[in-house]
Amino acid sequence: MSLTDSVVINLPRPKEGRQTIRDSKVPHLLLVVGPRSRTFYMHATARGRSYRVNLGRAPVLSVDDARRAAVDALRDVWAGVDPRISRTAAVPTLREALQAYLGRGTMRPASVRDCRGTLERHAAPWLDRVATSVDPAGLAAAYKGLSTRSPATAAKLLRHLGAVLRHAAAACPAIDPEVVTRARALAGGAVAVAPRDRLIPDALQGAWFAALQGEAEPVRRLLCALALTGCRREELRDLPAAAWSPAADSFTIGQTKTGRPHTLPVTPALVWALGDSLPEVSESTLRGAYERIGRAIGQEWSPHDLRRGFASIAARLGVDELQIKRLLNHAATGVTQRHYVRLGADDVRGALERVQAHLLGLWGVTA
């Protein structure tokens, strides 16, 4: 068919498999429509050899641009030059591709840090080389090695790297957007990541708090606040300074994992933990504290264990399920909960103070 931008955008996606459409104006231009993408290719045969070149994805690449790119690739073929090699000059380094991906401005600050940190730590061999240097076999080996130590981190590496390469491939056809898919296949498939079912039991809360006293003051304040609110680490750590006032009735976390602003009451226990201002703590400082405190109490732990412990204590104290969901900023289920029940900060103040009083008692603290 004669391809146009509107035709390409409105083509129905196949539920399974792929559909290939040849352009009637430039017959060597193909559009491959899959369940999640629409990709332009140049396909030609010359001197007994077949060439198939990934030109880029729609709508990042328009039909007119795809036609021009297909003609340029055809000229290379007729000149005896492999177009897949001639097109590599403009390939960005993986670091440049990462910067372009993060520079879209669509990710939360915590997600940006997580993506950047994961690739800088675990994709370092490729960072300052062209993105096409990420080879499936090498990536599969790195993934398998990392998965023996931390399956969750290994899965995160492939997820972030795949997103960066797919984004880069939309603008640079020389990059294979399926490198991660091939690497995962070579590694024998994804490594199963068992969900953590861990918390700091009441019997260890006193030891945990005692070990915490050996850490720097900003670390103590942040971790106490996490335990007392059940908030996610990055949500509370990244809270703007202006969002917190000990004299206010409540405070609001604007950037959350769910995308919904989360408002909690200001309580005496929270004022005791945070004081007049929010602490500034780097991720590397926190990781060191986790390890030292873990050795002191004889148990590995993470900030999410504090969130799980907060919810468990609330349930044991008889806090209503709707209030627990509201305190954790979890989505409500059921028609009544989703569309009719609205709980504000004051509605959960009593439940929050009960959980905090229980924790303070375990720590031997009077706020």
pLDDT tens across 181-190, in order?
Answer: 999 999 887 6
pLDDT at residue 338, rounded to an integer:
66
pLDDT tens across 352-366, in order?
Answer: 999 999 999 999 998
Query: What residue spans define the domains of the chain?
Result: 5-89, 94-186, 202-363
Q: How confident is the model at residue 89 (pLDDT cuts 50, 70, 90)?
A: very low
Give me the phi and psi of 265, to 5 degrees please: -75, 150
The vertex-174 CA angle with 169 and 180, nearest 5°, equals 55
Of residues 237 and 91, more confidence is placed in 237
What is the mean predicted confidence (pLDDT) over 23-31? 94
CATH, range 5-89: 3.30.160.390
Q: How confident is the model at residue 113 (pLDDT cuts 50, 70, 90)?
A: confident
- pLDDT for residue 348 is more than 80: yes
Element (H, E) at 22: strand 19-22
Element (H, E) at 169: helix 151-171
Pairing of strands 49-57, 250-253: unpaired
- pLDDT for residue 294 is more than 70: yes
Chain-centre distance of CA 302, in angstroms? 18
pLDDT at residue 88, rounded to an integer:
46
pLDDT at residue 37, rounded to an integer:
84
Residue that has been written with the tokens 């375990």 in this structure: 362
Residue that has been written with the tokens 């792929």 in this structure: 18
Q: Which two tokens stand for residue 46?
A: 């010359």
Highest average pLDDT, of 28-42, 218-232, 246-260, comes from: 218-232
**% of the chain with per-residue pLDDT over 70:** 94
Strands (E), 225-328: 250-253, 262-265
**% of the chain with per-residue pLDDT over 90:** 55
pTM: 0.60
The residues with which 49 forms a beta bridge, in sequence order, are 46
Cα(228)–Cα(357) distance, rounded to whole angstroms?
9
CATH, range 202-363: 1.10.443.10
Cα(221)–Cα(215) distance, rounded to whole angstroms?
10
Q: How confident is the model at residue 335 (pLDDT cuts 50, 70, 90)?
A: low
pLDDT at residue 26, rounded to an integer:
93
pLDDT tens across 64-83, in order?
Answer: 989 988 998 888 888 877 77
